[in-house]
């Protein structure tokens, strides 16, 4: 039975654990899927590479407001798709080849589950043991428990984000089921590239976890570009002659959506059910996440976890941060680094939605602050009320900042061009505890840059004297 100093389950952020402090350890990496994990292969990176050409199409369409008119764009789907995966696939293959070439690293191209204390049963029938184990096996898209869709896959035109970006050709019609960030980004991409998109969302708005005004405004913009069905659920589905017919229930009663391709974007689930964690002494929470402490240790001695398998934040930047903590703590635990273990801190966790327009946020919404009984003040600044917003002819963008009455920045929520970049100064300010007035007045703000939205929002907060 092979024994290793360290076994890492998952090759996404887990692959970055092998810092110089751990050189020379006998390490095994277990990966059943494509090497490099979700973000590289089917998540953050390829989706944003698809968003860029989609944005260009809509920018060309909207340019008439600036006095410029373009001919209708021609979309070359194979060229778009192959440019993206022609860059990504070699990175994945190269990363795998590099690890496979390292003298002290063993790759197991299979799935693992716990069969005892730091003992793993591989799908190959082999078992391995280790002094230490790191679980970084991520999450996967949910299916939809609807008659007709349960067993359908890409061969019949039913996709998740794992497969939809590699379509052979653009369909005439696509039904997107879901209203979260994956659904909204993919609806934007395929609609902009010429597909007739119908998005089916069970709630009152898209992006329901965002600040209410932002969710409402994003939904309004989306409805100008494609068909959005709110308060609507899919009750059944049938596939005939290459076309899906989804039966729906909504405010107007029973209806249907017809499309050649169905994209299920109804959330993700951690891969804990594939691990048999109880057999290894690992406890799970009510939402199926591995339970970890502030050093990212599981309830089993010698076993750590990071990323989607243990975090409520399904975000690559969170997984990368956790990987740095685990790498440090492994070096301490093995005696290769004389230092105190690192712990997870309470810095603000931002996120962004690269739809149209962009959305970015960190911290609680106004409703959450009210529910918690937190005293706060608010300022909402329109993008169109600063000079560069005028230049863009922006009519929908806004930035909302929540702060305590004494000027501590609690949260920010943005919608508009480059929202994911515009919000970054506020993330930094909140992370370092800077006072709102200090941030607004303690530096020059480039005029007439879009960042003046941040300056004006901070200056407009009704703070206590």
What's 33's DSSP letter? Answer: S
Q: Tell me, yes or no, whether 400 lies in a domain.
A: yes
CATH number, domain with residue 436: 3.30.390.30
Q: What pLDDT does 151 receive?
A: 86
pLDDT digits (tens, 9 = 90+) for 51-81: 999 999 999 999 999 999 999 999 999 999 9
pLDDT digits (tens, 9 = 90+) for 294-303: 999 999 999 9
Shared-domain flag, residues 218 and 244: yes
pLDDT digits (tens, 9 = 90+) for 76-91: 999 999 999 999 999 9
Strands 127-135 and 119-122: antiparallel
Q: Which of 272, 34, 15, 7 is nearest to 139 (CA)?
A: 272
Shared-domain flag, residues 222 and 318: no
Cβ count near 379 (within 10 Å): 18
Backbone φ and ψ for 15, nearest 5 degrees, come out as: -65, -25
pLDDT digits (tens, 9 = 90+) for 422-458: 999 999 999 999 999 999 999 999 999 999 999 999 9
pLDDT digits (tens, 9 = 90+) for 239-296: 999 999 999 999 999 999 999 999 999 999 999 999 999 999 999 999 999 999 999 9
Burial of 409-447, coded b for 16+ CB within 10 Å and e otherwise, reads: bbbbbbbbbbbbebbebbbebbeeebbbeebbeeeebee
Q: How many domains does the chain have?
A: 3
Instruction: Show which of 250, 266, 282 is a domain's final residue.
Output: 266
Shared-domain flag, residues 134 and 17: yes
Strands 377-382 and 359-362: unpaired
Q: Tell me, yes or no, whether 148 lies in a domain.
A: no
pLDDT value at 405 more than 80: yes
Catalytic residue among 3, 64, 231, 447: 447
Q: What pLDDT does 346 receive?
A: 87
Structure confidence at residue 463 as a pLDDT band (50, 70, 90): very high
Q: What pLDDT does 36 receive?
A: 97
Shared-domain flag, residues 135 and 7: yes
- The question of whether 435 is a catalytic residue gets the answer no
Shared-domain flag, residues 285 and 368: no
Shared-domain flag, residues 67 and 97: yes
Exposed, middle or buried: residue 151 (CB in 10 Å: 0-12, 13-18, 19+)?
Answer: exposed
Cα separation values, 216 from 198, 207, 280, Å:
18, 9, 45
Shared-domain flag, residues 261 and 290: no
Q: What pLDDT does 132 receive?
A: 98
Shared-domain flag, residues 262 and 273: no
Shared-domain flag, residues 309 and 413: no
Q: Tell me, yes or no, whether 338 lies in a domain.
A: no
Instruction: Show which of 221, 244, 266 is a domain's final residue.
Output: 266
Mean pLDDT of 187-215: 98
Mean pLDDT of 11-36: 97
**CA–CA separation, 438 vs 219, rounded Å?**
35
Q: Which of 324, 311, 358, 278 is nearest to 139 (CA)?
A: 311
Q: Which residue has the tokens 């980004």?
A: 185
- Can you give the residue range of the structural domain that contains 28? 3-140+269-333
Exposed, middle or buried: residue 371 (CB in 10 Å: 0-12, 13-18, 19+)?
Answer: exposed
Q: Tell me, yes or no, whether 349 lies in a domain.
A: no
Q: Tell me, yes or no, whether 350 lies in a domain.
A: no
Shared-domain flag, residues 258 and 167: yes
CATH number, domain with residue 15: 3.50.50.60
Q: Tell me, yes or no, whether 341 lies in a domain.
A: no
- Mean pLDDT of the chain, nearest integer: 97
Cβ count near 174 (within 10 Å): 27
Shared-domain flag, residues 217 and 306: no
Instruction: Give me the numbers of helices (H) and strands (E) for the chain, helices first please.
Output: 12, 22
pLDDT value at 465 more than 90: no
Shared-domain flag, residues 218 and 207: yes
Q: Tell me, yes or no, whether 465 lies in a domain.
A: no
Q: Tell me, yes or no, whether 365 lies in a domain.
A: yes
Instruction: Show which of 239, 266, 293 is a domain's final residue.
Output: 266
């Amino acid at each position: 039975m092979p024994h290793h100093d360290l076994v890492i389950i998952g090759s996404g952020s887990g692959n970055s654990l092998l810092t110089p402090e751990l050189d020379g350890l006998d390490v095994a990496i277990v990966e059943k899927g494509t090497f490099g994990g979700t973000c590289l292969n089917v998540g953050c990176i390829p989706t944003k590479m698809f968003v860029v050409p989609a944005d260009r199409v809509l920018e060309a369409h909207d340019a008439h407001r600036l006095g410029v008119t373009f001919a209708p764009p021609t979309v070359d789907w194979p060229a778009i798709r192959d440019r993206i995966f022609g860059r990504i696939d070699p990175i994945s293959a190269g990363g795998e080849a590099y690890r496979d070439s390292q003298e002290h690293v063993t790759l197991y191209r299979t799935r693992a589950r716990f069969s005892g204390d730091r003992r793993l049963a591989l799908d190959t029938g082999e078992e391995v043991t280790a002094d230490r184990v790191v679980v970084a096996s991520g999450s996967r898209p949910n299916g939809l428990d609807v008659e007709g869709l349960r067993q359908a896959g890409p061969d019949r035109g039913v996709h998740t984000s794992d497969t939809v970006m590699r379509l052979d050709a653009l369909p005439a019609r696509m039904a997107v089921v879901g209203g979260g960030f994956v659904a909204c980004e993919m609806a934007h991409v395929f609609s902009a590239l010429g597909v007739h998109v119908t998005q089916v969302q069970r709630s009152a708005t898209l992006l329901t976890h965002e600040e209410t005004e932002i969710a409402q405004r994003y939904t309004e913009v989306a409805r100008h570009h494609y068909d959005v069905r709110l308060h609507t659920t899919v009750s059944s589905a049938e596939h005939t002659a290459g076309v899906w017919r989804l039966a729906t229930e909504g405010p107007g009663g029973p209806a249907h959506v017809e499309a050649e391709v169905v994209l299920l974007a109804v959330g993700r689930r951690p891969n804990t059910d594939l691990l048999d964690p109880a057999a290894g002494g690992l406890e799970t929470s009510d939402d199926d996440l591995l339970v970890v402490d502030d050093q990212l240790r599981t309830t089993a001695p010698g076993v750590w976890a990071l990323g989607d398998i243990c975090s409520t934040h399904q975000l690559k930047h969170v997984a990368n941060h956790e990987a740095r903590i685990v790498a440090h703590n492994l070096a301490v635990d093995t005696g290769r680094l004389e230092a105190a273990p690192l712990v997870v801190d309470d810095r603000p966790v931002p996120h962004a939605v690269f739809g149209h327009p962009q959305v970015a946020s960190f911290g609680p919404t106004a409703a959450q602050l009210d529910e918690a009984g937190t005293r706060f003040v608010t300022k909402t600044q329109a993008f169109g009320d600063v000079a560069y917003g005028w230049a863009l002819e922006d009519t929908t963008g806004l930035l909302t900042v929540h702060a305590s009455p004494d000027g501590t920045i609690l949260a920010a929520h943005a919608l508009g061009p480059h929202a994911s970049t515009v919000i970054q100064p506020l993330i930094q300010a909140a992370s370092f505890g800077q006072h709102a007035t200090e941030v607004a007045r303690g530096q020059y703000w480039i005029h007439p840059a879009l960042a003046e939205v941040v300056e004006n929002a901070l200056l407009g907060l009704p703070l206590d004297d």
